[in-house]
Structure 1
Amino acid sequence: KYAKLPKHPKVRNVFNLDFPDSNHLAKTFTVVSGPDMVNLIYHNFFASKDKVTQVINHCTHRLCVYIRLSLQTNKDGKIPVKNIYKMFPADKKRVESALASANLPKGKYDTIKPDVFTESAFRTFLTHLCPRPEIYEIFTSYSTKPTMTKENFTKFLNEKQRDSRLNEELFPRLRQDQIKALMDKYEPVTTNSNRGLISPEGLLFFLMGPETSIVMQDRLAKCNDMTQPIPHYFIKSSHNTYLTAGQFSGVSSPEMYRQCLLSGCRCLELDCWKGKPPDEEPIITHGFTMTTEILFKDVIEAIAESAFKTSQYPVILSFENHIDSVKQQEKMANYCKTIFGDALLTEPLEKYPFIVLLLLCSCSNINSPPVNPTPHPQGTAGQEVTAYEAMSSLVNYIQPNKFISFDNARKKNKSYVISSFVETKGEAMIAKSAVEFVEYNKRQMSRIYPKGTRMDSSNYIPQPFWNVGCQMVALNYQTMDFPMQLNMALFEFNGRTGYLLKHDVIRRSDKKFDPFCDRIDTVVASTLTIKIYSGQFLSDKSVKTGVEVEVIGLPGDPKKKYRTKWTTTPNAINPVWNEEPFVFEKILLPEMASLRIVVHEENGKFLGHRIIPVDAIQSGFHHICLRSESNMPLTLPALFVYIEVKDYIPAAFAGITNQKMSDFIQAGRGPGTSPLWSLKSDH
């Protein structure tokens, strides 16, 4: 099934979609688009032949990794120049000048033939629209002539773009033929590249290429060992998945389950309540509130449709069961069996890709709600009912139990037992017994969820819970606040599988870990230095802008939040800061820390952000493509920065050169392979 069935009866009648023997549903598919998971637009299509929808559906999922530039043409097939002015409304005179420099028509009512408006012409236009004096400054520091020689370009790559922590034997420097290939690829003037030269424009294009991505590309692909016990992974998890807005009067929708799964989420929550006569169909809603109700069956169908489109790894369903009817629980079990089919794991398997695990949370008593319910810190989780045989028989691998104490859990030593903690309880446990919490999470799983008083569906900061190894840190996916941005950024890695292998220090059984420590014996701390040079196309308005930088990690990591000065003039097309670098001297556990960069207008309005795990950052000059509040890539807005990540050297060793210390520490190891240095495979 590749389509969302149209709600309008007339549309369904046209294609006979309601007839049991109709195969027309197999010919339909739906494309869902929107700025976030809540505000969605549905585009329904009907194919004339069978299996076309399967092919198109597969292709659309593959196309999502590419960025395409679409140009609108008028009835004559030409591109109106006014469209270009609309794209850059902040400075019309600058747009006019840039069009003229690219030999393109500049009149507001002029048009451009598509064969004239080539990629090369558009690139020339952007180069003149957004001049880059800081790139020229970098260029002249390596060459006093109009072009840079291959030798100087090599020096630039080795001094600025190479990670100083890399072991020379494991990650050798680029060969001359590889460097020449880069010059040929990015130098726009053929005569220069033929002579082994590169111009400032060529250097700019190189610094905008994939080889200089700030993120190590091998980290984005599936790179973790996926054969470890399930408690050894962080699992992308959702709270009250069905809600599209607030916790008290929000709209519930099965579509949220689809969107969460497509984003890589692997743990979903279903709050199950009794359906009303005559159908007595189990429903999903937020109990004792004004949130709308949706059918349990519709949710199970939505999960079955989308569970494994973006990740092949197990989906865990967390049931909050409030149904005290044997008949309705039997209905629920039957829907799970028939709709999930073989994907539902009911028997232990040695190999288990493409499976759904049920986690049925229930307790033995039924609590009657008060007449005027007050939001409880635990929400409705404490008002669950008994799970009867039909549903409880489907639960395996993960058994929910009420948490008693760390000592009790250690003595029972049951790795398949999971306990859920409201955020406030979890925070208190971290403050009082952080080391014990880490030990607990090495052996078995914990799930953290927002307190019931977050009626606006806001989120708590997940980092403290990751620091102690909590696997399922469940958040409200309908609210794209800072905690969700941090969550989305972390799970972009390891192929977006929704599973991330925890660091060795919070997995190994032979050594305890204290997240509040100031040093970790088995880990080399990092020093991160970042210099903000400039911005590109940060806003379509003429405004002053500023950048904020911080590191989120362990409590002992640097807490300082750095800010640039506001730009002196209202210029969001190519603002330049070029201030002193910001230094985060000692990041204790780089694998558990993230760099956060946010751009604001002077009035505080958010313009864009980016969050990147520290251990995935490449040293060097980079253009950082910014994201929206909902973590969607913005087309043009970017920051140009220089970042250096190196091994932390204590003050007592300040006299030892960085290279000698790095060679000593790095003997036999290197950080991730960067795209620029992975070319060594040709060797």
Structure 2
Amino acid sequence: MAGAKPGVHALQLKPVAVHEELKKGGKFVKWDEVRMKCLKVSFRANDVEILDISYIRDTRTGKYAKQPKDAKVKEVLGLTKEVNGEGKLLTVVYGNDLVNVSFLNFQAMQEDVAKIWTDELFALSTNILSQNVSRNTFLYKAYTKLKLQVNQEGKIPVKNVIKMFSDKKRVETALEQCGLINNKDALAIVLGFLVKLLRTCYTLGLLFCLCSSGSKRKPFISLDQLMDFINRRQRDSRLNEVLYPPLKRDQVRQIMEKYETNTSQLERDQISLQAFSRYLGGEENTIVPPERLDIIDDMNQPLSHYFINSSHNTYLTVGQLTGNSSVEMYRQVLLTGCRCIELDCWKGRPQDEEPYITHGFTMTTEIPFKEVIEAIAESAFKTSPYPVILSFENHVDSAKQQAKMAEYCRTIFGDALLIEPLEKYPLSEGQLLPSPQELMGKILIKNKKKHHHHRPSESGSIRRKEPGEQSSPHNGKVLCNVAALWISGICLPQGTASSEANATEEMSNLVNYIEPVKFKTFEWARKRFFEMSSFVETKGMDALKSFPIEFVEYNKNQLSRIYPKGTRVDSSNYMPQLFWNVGCQMVALNFQTLDLPMQLNMGVFEYNGLSGYLLKPEFMRRTDKHFDPFTENIVDGIVANTVKIKVISGQFLTDKKVGVYVEVDIFGLPADTKRKYRTKTSNGNSLDPVWDDEMFVFNKVVLPTLASLRIAEINTLGYHYINLKNELNQPLMLPSLLVYTEAQDYIPNEHQGNDTMQASLWINMSHKQAKNKLHPQTFEAFLFSSLCKNYFVVRLAKMEMTSLQQYLRWFVCLSDVKVQSVEELQQNKHYEKLLKKQRKELKELRKKHLKKVRTDGFNYRNYPCLDLLSVCHCVCREKKELQKILDRKRLNSISEAKNREKDKAESELNEINRKHIQDSVSLIRGLEEAQTRRDDKLLQRHRDVLQRIDEELPQVSKRSETKKVGSAKNLQLVQS
């Protein structure tokens, strides 16, 4: 997914290092407001609570830590109005998704201790290397967890071992092999026990690897066999042997000494099965090289040259129509490395006039705008130092409240808010955007900008731009769709982006490099690189299908944002790969839903140091290159790859005794071949299933730099353990897969085994060319050599090759060209004219036929809807006219009654009003009944028309097909 700097990368990621203060330990008071109790924390307790550090999402102290609200808890902690002890508070946030996070609250004895623990725990939990350690490290982690769960005698209860491995029979077998079967209640566990237990789970998969290494089922591997195994199986054969030389005997010997503990084996230049297992699970065989997790991309390119991790409706925790909005979601999303978040702002109530954030016209809850800005200020740069983009959807139509929003941004963000454009990058046409490196630590505002023709009204309110004001070339279609929805009684939720309020001067001053504008055409947007447009996924897909090359060109210099369509009320996500393929930078997803698209997004943006920015491939950045995402040919000289994967075995895949299977998906360009495989289902074995399936072959991956595998992005070949992760991309301790991966340059099936012959042919022709250059009489042979050379290159580019006989036949056809007479040339010319005329007539006939079909379809489907709308308007008009007549009659009667005797006037007035009400009710009721009858007739007529269309459609299609076949026959007759 990224383009890396050339050359060898020097790893900058720091390995895990525990601070001395944490090793020493400290005194803390753990408080829980729900249970209203406070406990002292110590290492020795009857029941040990263990929290895996990889599940820690955040640590907070000071004003950002949880503050107790209960008076009793405050009193115990010594927090009073006079004593502000918030600096001693420490909150640990943990969870395995972004919505359901939990909090552990502590109070340290000193503020500096709380600060150290806060910083160091966060550094440990977010260390990228610790999230991607070797298989051996994860097993040692499981062993350490067991050692911490000891009873009062310092022994580990067997129930804890069974609970971890979820297989009582396997645990008892390992106990028996260790000689501990007599004591089933507790055991003084040692590392050897864990080795015995794991050996029973790993043996079958390792036997496959041993056979591949050439050991022929022997329980050991020799040094020569191991060297051959490493250089042939574990090394990518496509690598340059000068820059990446194969390992030598002394290097392989060092590996053997590192993993083999039996000196007698080493003396015979052998390693055992156990040592070989440790080698496969060691640091040398991690599936993702550490340098790929580091900041490896060039961060000095313009902002438009990067894929940017982006969120949609960041504040939501569930669906789009109901549920809670949460300030915490902004913190959690930013902590994942997301660099573009959305704020849906609305006008506050008259009491306090504080703007709030919610999903407009839905039943989602509201959260204060100010609290969201404070949360962003705290968490914006904890995970990544690179710029954060705040995408405002601003519905605040109050100048006063917009000024308040701008003031909050200025005061809370402070110097981090980019207000003025950088001196090197003025807002002028043709000027490229600044780079993430130059914008490091900055917050950019995306909000509509006030221009000179946007002026607020004198009352201080701002005119809201309604959706109906937008001109649309599809007004007829929209009207019909609205009519259809009105008939069926369905009201689908509409997006609120089109009803944004105009920006005030204060908010406009905060907008610089990311000014949103309505997209018109690709030509219109050219040169104004600081303007960007947002596309709903359906419109983006239309642009992707209709103008793929233009879309890629647009994204080379300008930013585009894609967001989910409004009908995704369940907060599901679309596949982001589709829009990455055309270079869209901000592909916004619903982070609260950890579905397959979100898992892909998490996995892809884990690379490049979790910075939230991934450099696009070079051909998506350079203006002198053009890229079609639907191409099946070589892209910019990049050779397509064939990827092969064999899933050998699994370990601890689930704690349930069920059959399991493994899915392998690849995501890339549309031209890539088969995208999904799955193994057979294991027979009720989830602890150590072994699959004897064929190798999964993704035959053609056109652009490997833009492709991802769902298991992991395979960058190293050979046999590897893949440590599995959960939906939030957090590593799981025990579940893993043993796989074999292989990658080759793609060769089409028809050319397999033919490439060597073609290369030798070309070399022979080149030799002939060199020999015959001095002899004019050998021009024919020289021509043949040159033609073959050129034709070979063209065919190779199309990944097609032919045999020597085809080349010779082709050359004979060229050399034996017969000269045509003038009459033959005239006949050919006349034939070309007839053929061109026939094609033109056929094209016009098809166009005319399609136009008639569209017109008839429109009339049949939409005119009843329009009739129904006109009837509705007519009924409303009749109601108003009838009401006017009745009111006029009542007023005349009242004026006549006033002129009569005064004692009778009041009674007559009451009688007139009563009669007026009765007449109005009876007449309107009659009118409504007549309207209902007319509605029923129109609806029935509409159903009849639709039924007739469905009945006649096959006949019309058949007649159309007959006409098309007749036209084709006529064309063939003319050609003959």
Normalising by structure 1, report the TM-score.
0.88
Aligned to 2:164: 87
Structure 1, residues 571-615: CA drift from partner, whole Å, max 9, x if none?
11111112211111110001111112xxxxxxxxxxxxx3x33xx
Q: Is 1:525 aligned to residue 640 of structure 2?
A: yes
Task: State the AA in 2 paired with 1:399.
Answer: E
The Cα of 1:17 is off from its aligned counterpart by 6.2
Q: Distance in 2 between matches of 1:25 and 1:478?
A: 31
Higher helix share: 2
Q: Distance in 2 between matches of 1:437 and 1:102?
A: 65
Contact 1:362 1:385 in 2 (8 A): no
Number of aligned residue pairs: give it: 634
Q: Distance in 2 between matches of 1:521 and 1:355?
A: 35
Q: Is 1:642 aligned to residue 740 of structure 2?
A: yes
User: Judging changes above 3 Å, is the alpha-carbon distance between structure 1 residues 180 and 58 closer, same or farther for their aligned structure 2 residues?
Assistant: farther
The Cα of 1:94 is off from its aligned counterpart by 2.0
The Cα of 1:540 is off from its aligned counterpart by 1.2
The SS at the match of 2:662 is: strand
Aligned to 1:583: 697
Q: Distance in 1 between matches of 2:75 and 2:574?
A: 47
Task: State the AA in 2 paired with 1:490.
Answer: V
Q: Distance in 2 between matches of 1:277 and 1:398?
A: 32
The SS at the match of 2:322 is: coil
User: Judging changes above 3 Å, is the alpha-carbon distance between structure 1 residues 354 and 106 closer, same or farther for their aligned structure 2 residues?
Assistant: farther
The SS at the match of 1:532 is: strand
Aligned to 1:284: 357
Aligned to 2:676: 561
Contact 1:550 1:559 in 2 (8 A): no
Match of 1:478 among 592, 601, 625: 592
The Cα of 1:18 is off from its aligned counterpart by 8.0
Aligned to 2:442: 355
Aligned to 2:731: 633
Aligned to 1:76: 153
User: Judging changes above 3 Å, is the alpha-carbon distance between structure 1 residues 282 and 466 closer, same or farther for their aligned structure 2 residues?
Assistant: same
Q: Distance in 1 between matches of 2:78 and 2:445?
A: 35
Higher mean C-alpha deviation, range 257-266 or range 3-12: 3-12
The Cα of 1:16 is off from its aligned counterpart by 7.1
Aligned to 1:99: 175
The Cα of 1:30 is off from its aligned counterpart by 1.3
The SS at the match of 2:109 is: coil
Task: State the AA in 2 paired with 1:356.
Answer: I
Match of 2:721 among 607, 623, 634: 623
Normalising by structure 2, report the TM-score.
0.62
The Cα of 1:383 is off from its aligned counterpart by 1.3
Task: State the AA in 2 paired with 1:408.
Answer: W
Q: Distance in 2 between matches of 1:559 and 1:137?
A: 26
The SS at the match of 1:259 is: helix
Task: State the AA in 2 paired with 1:33.
Answer: Y
The SS at the match of 2:699 is: strand
Task: State the AA in 2 paired with 1:392.
Answer: S
The SS at the match of 2:105 is: strand
The Cα of 1:240 is off from its aligned counterpart by 0.5
Aligned to 1:304: 377
Q: Distance in 1 between matches of 2:255 and 2:756?
A: 31
Q: Is 1:58 aligned to residue 119 of structure 2?
A: yes
The Cα of 1:535 is off from its aligned counterpart by 1.1
Q: Distance in 1 between matches of 2:442 and 2:261?
A: 51
| 1:86-165 aligned within 5 A | 86-89=163-166, 91-105=167-181, 107-108=183-184, 110-113=185-188, 117-128=189-200, 130-141=201-212, 142-144=214-216, 145-165=218-238
Aligned to 1:398: 514
The Cα of 1:409 is off from its aligned counterpart by 1.1
| 1:372-451 aligned within 5 A | 374-376=491-493, 379-410=495-526, 413-451=527-565
Contact 2:669 2:703 in 1 (8 A): yes
Match of 2:295 among 218, 222, 226: 222
The Cα of 1:320 is off from its aligned counterpart by 0.6
Any stretches of 5+ residues in structure 1 without a counterpart? 597-609, 665-683
The Cα of 1:251 is off from its aligned counterpart by 0.8
Match of 2:751 among 652, 655, 670: 652
Higher mean C-alpha deviation, range 455-464 or range 187-196: 187-196
The Cα of 1:262 is off from its aligned counterpart by 0.8
Aligned to 1:193: 266
Task: State the AA in 2 paired with 1:183.
Answer: M
Q: Distance in 2 between matches of 1:303 and 1:190?
A: 58
Task: State the AA in 2 paired with 1:545.
Answer: V
User: Judging changes above 3 Å, is the alpha-carbon distance between structure 1 residues 106 and 126 closer, same or farther for their aligned structure 2 residues?
Assistant: farther
Match of 2:570 among 429, 433, 456: 456
- Structure showing greater Rg: 2
Q: Distance in 2 between matches of 1:161 and 1:633?
A: 24
User: Judging changes above 3 Å, is the alpha-carbon distance between structure 1 residues 175 and 250 closer, same or farther for their aligned structure 2 residues?
Assistant: same
User: Judging changes above 3 Å, is the alpha-carbon distance between structure 1 residues 515 and 137 closer, same or farther for their aligned structure 2 residues?
Assistant: closer
Q: Distance in 1 between matches of 2:657 and 2:90?
A: 42
Contact 1:518 1:588 in 2 (8 A): yes
The SS at the match of 2:547 is: helix
Q: Distance in 1 between matches of 2:510 and 2:491?
A: 34
Aligned to 2:239: 166
Q: Distance in 1 between matches of 2:284 and 2:584?
A: 35
User: Judging changes above 3 Å, is the alpha-carbon distance between structure 1 residues 376 and 139 closer, same or farther for their aligned structure 2 residues?
Assistant: same
Task: State the AA in 2 paired with 1:100.
Answer: E
Task: State the AA in 1 paired with 2:220.
Answer: T
Contact 1:261 1:306 in 2 (8 A): yes
The SS at the match of 2:447 is: strand
The Cα of 1:194 is off from its aligned counterpart by 5.0
The SS at the match of 2:694 is: coil
Contact 1:32 1:41 in 2 (8 A): yes
Task: State the AA in 1 paired with 2:515.
Answer: Q
Contact 2:175 2:193 in 1 (8 A): no
Match of 1:338 among 401, 411, 414: 411
The Cα of 1:618 is off from its aligned counterpart by 0.9
Q: Distance in 1 between matches of 2:83 and 2:416?
A: 25
Contact 2:648 2:738 in 1 (8 A): yes
Q: Distance in 2 between matches of 1:443 and 1:470?
A: 11
The Cα of 1:277 is off from its aligned counterpart by 3.0
The Cα of 1:195 is off from its aligned counterpart by 4.4
The SS at the match of 2:524 is: helix
The SS at the match of 1:406 is: coil
Q: Distance in 1 between matches of 2:369 and 2:734?
A: 42
The SS at the match of 2:649 is: strand
Task: State the AA in 1 paired with 2:507.
Answer: M
Q: Distance in 2 between matches of 1:18 and 1:323?
A: 39
Aligned to 1:29: 90
Task: State the AA in 2 paired with 1:546.
Answer: Y
Contact 1:132 1:574 in 2 (8 A): no
Whose RCO is larger (CA < 8 A, sep 6+)? 1
The Cα of 1:125 is off from its aligned counterpart by 2.1
Aligned to 1:321: 394
The SS at the match of 1:299 is: helix
Contact 2:174 2:193 in 1 (8 A): no
The Cα of 1:23 is off from its aligned counterpart by 4.8
The Cα of 1:197 is off from its aligned counterpart by 1.8
Structure 1, residues 523-560: CA drift from partner, whole Å, max 9, x if none?
11111011111111112122222222221110000134
Q: Distance in 2 between matches of 1:252 and 1:267?
A: 18
Contact 2:383 2:610 in 1 (8 A): yes
The Cα of 1:376 is off from its aligned counterpart by 4.5
Contact 1:154 1:179 in 2 (8 A): yes
The Cα of 1:161 is off from its aligned counterpart by 0.2
